[in-house]
Structure formats: C-alpha cells, structure tokens
Amino acid sequence: MSVLSILEFPDPRLRTRAEPVSVFDARLEQLVADMFETMYAANGVGLAATQVNVHQRVLVADMSDDRKQPLALINAQIVEKEGSQVYQEGCLSFPGLYADVTRALRVKVKAQDVHGKDIVVEAEGPLAVCIQHELDHLEGKVFVDYLSSLKRTLLLKRLDKQRKQAASA
C-alpha cells in the first residue's frame, strides 16, 4: 500500500466528474487499499478517488474511532434521502477549514463492492454526511459550494492565509 497525494483546492482537477468503474480487478483493489492508507495517514474519515486524481466513481470511508469499519463504495448512487441535518464538515482538500453544511439525515445507497458485487448501504448521521460529501467530490462538487458567497469567500481567504503562513514558516 502507499499514501497518495491529495489534491487541494483550488486545483481544477477537483472539478472533474468521475467515470463509472467497469473493471473490477487487482488495480481497483490496490486503488481502494491506497485510498484507505491515504485517508488514515491524513486523519480523515472519507476520501473520494477524485481527491487523489483518479477520476473513477470510488469512495472510501471509516467513521469508527478504532479504524476498524472500512467502507468502500464503487459506482455509488443515493436512491433515498430522508430528513435534514446541519453538520460541521471539513475536507482533506481544504486542510484546516470547517463549515456548517445542510444535508440529508439518512441516505440509502446502491453501490458495488471492490469485487463488483451489488450492495445497499443505509446510513444515518455523520456517516450519511460523509457519504454525501464524498459523492459530491465524484460529481466535481466541493463542500464550500453549499455556502453563501460571503461565507465561501471568507473561508477561502482563511485557507489562503494559512497557506501563506505555512510557506513562510
């Protein structure tokens, strides 16, 4: 396994729509393993293939404290949404930034596992938020797109300031 480079906003590749996976092979298994390794190394809870410059419909998540509940979803689609929740989201492509985003409270997702087997996942609360967030990445959408233009501008200025401070340190 290896840790992959995570694209950071405003990298234009984050706006690329991912293509469906059609080949379920050892390369896909390696990608999923590398994505988990990358996500864990960055202390994240979710990662979309788009974020590591692979434009296929692959996402990984693990909301558990002990990192023992890995979930890989291939070609995932939300088939049901229910309720509403506001959750403070962060993103590995926006290091150190967080914002409140409104999303569905519960989702039902049809997907495939790494071997191509059809699966259905029902998620609620933080895992539902994570899945929706990662699926947005696969559509070329990022969480700041949900914010008002004023909030988005303030957040992006903060990100720019953090980067300048880090560069001069």
For residue 155, give the nearest of 99, 100, 102, 101 by alpha carbon: 99
Asked if residue 34 belongs to a domain, the reply is yes
Q: Is the C-alpha dihedral spanning 24, 27, 28, 29 positive or negative?
A: positive
In a domain, 5, yes or no: no
Which residues of the chain are under the pLDDT cut of 70? none
Indicate if 134 belongs to the active site.
Answer: yes
**E strand residue ranges, the chain:** 46-48, 58-61, 71-82, 85-91, 94-103, 106-112, 118-124
**Per annotation, catalytic residue among 19, 37, 80, 134:** 134
Number of domains forming the structure of the chain: 1
- Domain of 147: which CATH number? 3.90.45.10
Tokens representing 147 are: 């914010």
Residue numbers of the domain that contains 110: 12-168
| pLDDT tens-digit series, residues 80-113 | 999 999 999 999 999 999 999 999 999 999 999 9
Q: Rounded to two decimals, what is the model's pTM?
A: 0.96
